[in-house]
Chain A
């Protein structure tokens, strides 16, 4: 247990101190949100209606972008070999690294979302809904992405391929995240049902992601 906590702390330190990983992700998120009004047009009513979707797509792309270094860096400097030979099960190591990665890159996206939603003219209730769905949904994105990051260790320069492989699997999260936040924006439709499914997807990926990632790393390195 202490080993896992140490691993989480180490990854967080690296994320904060080396290259400002968290801030680059938020910056990319900002860039996506800023580009959208240029593409769609500055109609504030339209932006308010599709705002949750823009924020979700931005968060999805930003979290995909951050993925490929998750295990690759550890493989380059040899840390991954040490982690493989350690007594701690690889699945738990993957889970700890996923947790650290979510705190370092997923959580800042959630925290940035309310500020960015002001740019999109969202109402307070809609902001709350988007932030809540992102808070529940980004762990699912991270832990499904964990599988892709683990495959990236197997592949040489597979960064783009990993995004292509992971994107279809993250579509359900996108669907339920957006339908829950849209329900809060437009009213009428229930918020609870898609939100509960989103929670279920997150919990499921929390279990399955590390197992699959562990299998992928073992497959890639022997």
Chain B
């Protein structure tokens, strides 16, 4: 099934009906296995002790915080360039999920930073750019709520999403460009990961589980948004009928 086949909201709903529980169940299974491995099987770090286990929540939420913005950027292109009818639905549905993952990443990072670096917060390049990402998410959510007409709000938010996309490469490469407190890239890098497989395997399982959780949440939020718009249209029609009668 191509992406264009889902342009019809009804067809999308019939696709989402089985897809949401399937993705959700697989996500729950993977996360359960991942959490078991992370907390009971994976070894403690010889320097950081048990606090290293925060990694298994922190890193997937950081990845998804950014991935969610990438999804929104593609949706924004879909809204402005291809006028895909569900693109702005996808964009609106993704913003709160991305904000939640980014917040989770910042909070777990702060909790991890306290014992490791001796402080909850430093004005390090990666931390700061992630905070900016959260601000952009919150601004976009506020923009969605300010404009009443969903189509118009979608196009305005799409423009802002594309402008804000500049921040994503800044976050990704911040640890390479500015050599500050946050550790450099260790999983996705040239020459393979620098993490031992006993830690890497549960991390990847958690990452895949969290991604599927994102897929399930995103599809469910999109379904809610489509239904909400239908209710809105019905209400407007009813009001118009009431006005003419």
- A220 is contacted by which of B80, B156, B164 (Cβ under 8 Å)? B156
Q: Contact string, B172-205, partner A, CB cutoff 8 A, digits 1/0?
A: 0000000000000000000000000000000000
Per-residue contact bits, chain B 152-171, to A (CB 8 Å; 1 contact, 0 not):
10011011101110110010
Q: Which residues of A contact B162 (CB under 8 A)?
A: 212
Q: Chain B interface mostly helix, strand, loop or mixed?
A: helix
Total contacts A-B at CB 8 Å: 65
A169 touches B164 (CB 8 A): yes
* A90 in the interface (beta carbon within 8 A): no
A208 within 8 A of B: yes
Closest to B148 in A: A156
Q: Which listed residue, B143, B147, B167, B170, touches A165 by the CB 8 Å rule?
A: B143
Residues of A within 8 A of B (CB-CB), count: 22
List which A133-161 residues lie within 8 A (CB) of chain B. 144, 147, 150-151, 154-156, 158, 161
Which residues from chain B contact A220 at a C-beta distance below 8 Å? 152, 155-156
- Bound-state CA distance A208–B164 (Å) is 12
Determine the distance from Cα of A172 to Cα of B155 in the docked complex, in whole angstroms. Answer: 25
Minimum CB distance partner of B153 in chain A: A154
B244 sits at the interface (CB 8 A): no
Chain A nearest CB, measured from B88 CB (Å): 11
Say whether A168 contacts B159, CB under 8 Å: no
Tell me the smallest distance from the CB of A151 to a CB of chain B, in Å.
6
Binding site for A on B (CB under 8 A): 80, 128, 132, 135-136, 139-140, 142-143, 146-147, 152, 155-156, 158-160, 162-164, 166-167, 170
